């Protein structure tokens, strides 16, 4: 599990991309818990390898957690959908105010030497 967390976590993106005057949305959870950047339904290609919005498998195919439809629905409702509601709300407000909204999706890479 630890290797998956280390390799699949976007470390300190909230600090790396902390720019004055730029509004940002930072996920409160690691993507292994809820990957808000995946499609919600079965059209997500990564569902086939256990890495839709609700991960059951790690980067190497190892099992992270057993499939659990009740937990998956709770994560979808309480985390995935809430993130997207906030995202859509912020985009709509910017569009209403300025007529344009630029979205920049920021990630970081795992650097073992730095994290230690």
Q: What is the pTM of this model?
A: 0.83
Tell me the H-state helices in the chain: 2-8, 13-16, 69-75, 81-98, 112-115
Per the listing, tokens 């993106």 go with: 13
* Alpha-carbon span 108 to 15, nearest angstrom: 11
pLDDT computed for residue 70 by the predictor: 98
Residue spans per domain, the chain: 2-115
3-state secondary structure at position 55: strand
pLDDT computed for residue 111 by the predictor: 53
Write out the chain's pLDDT in tens, 116 residues.
Answer: 788 787 787 788 888 888 898 888 888 888 899 999 999 999 999 999 999 999 999 988 999 999 999 999 999 999 999 999 999 999 999 999 999 999 998 887 655 544 44
């Amino acid at each position: 599990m630890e290797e998956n967390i280390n390799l699949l976590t976007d470390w300190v993106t909230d600090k790396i991309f902390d720019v004055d005057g730029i509004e940002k949305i930072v996920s409160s959870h690691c993507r292994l818990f809820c990957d808000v950047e995946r499609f919600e339904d079965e059209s997500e290609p990564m569902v086939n390898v256990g890495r839709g919005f609700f991960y059951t498998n790690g980067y190497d195919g190892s099992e992270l957690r057993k499939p659990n439809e009740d937990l998956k629905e709770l994560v979808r409702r309480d985390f995935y959908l809430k993130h997207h509601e906030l995202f859509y709300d912020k985009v709509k407000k910017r569009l209403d105010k300025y007529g344009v909204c630029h979205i920049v999706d920021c990630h970081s890479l795992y650097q073992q030497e730095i994290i230690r």
